[in-house]
Amino acid sequence: MKTYWMYVSMRSFNEYDVHSVTMKRKQKDSLPEIYSTLYEHYGDLHWWPAKTPYEVIVGAILTQNTAWSNVEKAIEQFGDDISPERVRSMPIEELQQIIRPAGFYKQKSLYLKAITDWYASYNCDTEFVKGRTLSELRRELLKVHGVGNETADSILLYGFDLPTFVVDAYTMRLFNRFPVDAGENYLQVKEYCEALLPKDPLIYNRCHALIVMHCKDYCKKKPLCMGCPLEDRCKSSNQIKL
Ligand code: SF4
């Protein structure tokens, strides 16, 4: 079987502190193994499906408490112009009608206005945003109406290519079943993942995308353990095999 490091090595091996990560792997941690197995099975998923950082921001708000297919319908309704200028100047009722397919549209219209104002405070300039430190940006985003940990990290990782790991309900489900002793709350699990993986947005991007894909394909609410690429190592596979 190919090793985790073969995949990581798509970037220069020397970019990473190999020694410290190898030492961490010797602890009882399974995340690198899960990552390499899922990468071998699914390949590079090239997330996030958006054309601009602003479209990532919009998607990260709209995907709260709804399926991605509903977000796609809402984004389609923007037509060719999904720009911060348009969202800022648009009457709230019009914005609500556009994003209605994503559900909770009244709340989300307020969230979209608020996050767009935040982006406008940087002149909607990606490089300007990236001039701040990751921790400063994260703190700022968490103060924006409607932005919690997962939304903030999704925006920073997928919109601005910054190294912050995204934890979601799929991550928690997989870790509980495998099991991976990563912690019990968002920040504990995020910290665990970041300690086990090279501090690289590309790796964080792929790892989160792979976990989501895997939980949609196999580790569903009612899991399909037969044929699951993690079946041999997952401690739950015998217990819940259908
Ligand atoms: S073996 Fe079953 S429970 Fe374990 S990861 Fe695969 S689908 Fe999920």
Rounded to 5°, the CA angle 190-191-192 comes to 90
Fold classification of 1-6+17-43+166-242 is Endonuclease Iii, domain 2 (1.10.1670)
Ranges of the chain with pLDDT below 70: 1-28, 238-242
236 close to ligand 1 (CB < 6 Angstrom) = yes
Instruction: Enter the DSSP assignment of 65.
Output: T
Centre of ligand 1 from the C-alpha of residue 238, in Å: 9
Residue 240: per-residue pLDDT: 58
Which CATH code of 1.10.340.30, 1.25.50.10, 2.120.10.30, 2.40.128.720 fits the domain covering 53-159?
1.10.340.30
180 close to ligand 1 (CB < 6 Angstrom) = no
Centre of ligand 1 from the C-alpha of residue 240, in Å: 8
Residue 49: per-residue pLDDT: 87
192 close to ligand 1 (CB < 6 Angstrom) = no
Nearest atom within ligand 1 for CA of residue 229: 6
How far apart (Å, rounded) are the C-alpha atoms in residues 227 and 224?
8
48 close to ligand 1 (CB < 6 Angstrom) = no
237 close to ligand 1 (CB < 6 Angstrom) = yes
Query: Quick one: how far is CA 176 from the chain centroid?
Result: 18
Q: What is the DSSP string of 124-165?
A: T-HHHHTTS-HHHHHHHHHHSTT--HHHHHHIIIIIT-----
Nearest atom within ligand 1 for CA of residue 224: 7
How far apart (Å, rounded) are the C-alpha atoms in residues 45 and 21?
24
How far apart (Å, rounded) are the C-alpha atoms in residues 64 and 155?
13
58 close to ligand 1 (CB < 6 Angstrom) = no
Domain map (residue ranges) of the chain = 1-6+17-43+166-242, 53-159
Centre of ligand 1 from the C-alpha of residue 45, in Å: 20
Residue 166: per-residue pLDDT: 98
Q: Which helix (H) or strand (E) holds 36?
A: helix 31-42
Centre of ligand 1 from the C-alpha of residue 2, in Å: 20
How far apart (Å, rounded) are the C-alpha atoms in residues 139 and 116?
16
Q: What is the DSSP string of 165-222?
A: ----HHHHHHHHHTT----SSHHHHHHHHHHHS-S-HHHHHHHHHHHHHHHHHTSSSS
